[in-house]
Structure 1
Amino acid sequence: MNITTIDKPTLDLLQKAFEIVLQQNNVSFKKIGIVEEGEQLLFLYEGKDEKVHVFNWSKASSINVSIGVLAQSVLMPIIPHLRLLS
């Protein structure tokens, strides 16, 4: 499913896709979330340190991309950092 608009159902599906990618890469977390802020989308990650870490990317770059591909493209570069936080 390609993203056509950024709305609450899309953000919920994207969060689920992020959870799956994290689990597949053995990255534990207390909580995660995806939120919209202006022209950015934010990935909020809470690991064992109980601090919320924020990673952002362009909302415009998410349109017409499949949810699974987007989750992997956002997370794969930061997986090593997230492992340190988990």
Structure 2
Amino acid sequence: MNITSIDQPTLHLIHKAFEIILKDHHIPYKKIGIVEDGNQLLFLYEGKSEKVHVFKWSKAQSLGVSIGVLAQSVLAPIIPTLRNL
């Protein structure tokens, strides 16, 4: 399913995709969230330190790609960082 708009159901599906990828890579977390902030999307990650870390990417670049591809492209570069948080 390609993303055609950013709405609550789409954000929920992106959240689920992020959970799957984190579990597949054995990345522990207390809470995660995906929120819209103007022209950006934010990945909120609370790890073992209980501090919330924010990772941003362009909302416009999210349109037209599948949810799984989006989740993988956002998370793949930060997985090493997430392991240490």
TM range (shorter): over 0.9
SS in 1 for 2:69: helix
Alpha-carbon offset, residue 56 of structure 1: 0.2
Alpha-carbon offset, residue 21 of structure 1: 0.4
Residue 23 of structure 1 aligns with which residue? 23
SS in 1 for 2:70: helix
Amino acid at match of 2:7: D
Amino acid at match of 1:13: L
Percent identity reads 73
SS in 2 for 1:6: coil
TM-score norm. by structure 2 comes to: 0.99
Structure 2, gaps ≥5 residues long = none
Write out aligned runs for 1:4-83 (5 A): 4-83=4-83
Structure 1, gaps ≥5 residues long = none
Count matched residues: 85
Query: In 1, Cα distance between the equivalents of 2:55 and 2:70?
Result: 14
Query: In 1, Cα distance between the equivalents of 2:26 and 2:2?
Result: 26
Q: Deviations over 1:12-44 (max 9, x none)?
A: 000000000000001010000000000000000
Query: Which of structure 1's runs of 4+ aligned residues deviate more than 2 A?
Result: none
Please, what is the CA RMSD of the aligned residues? 0.3
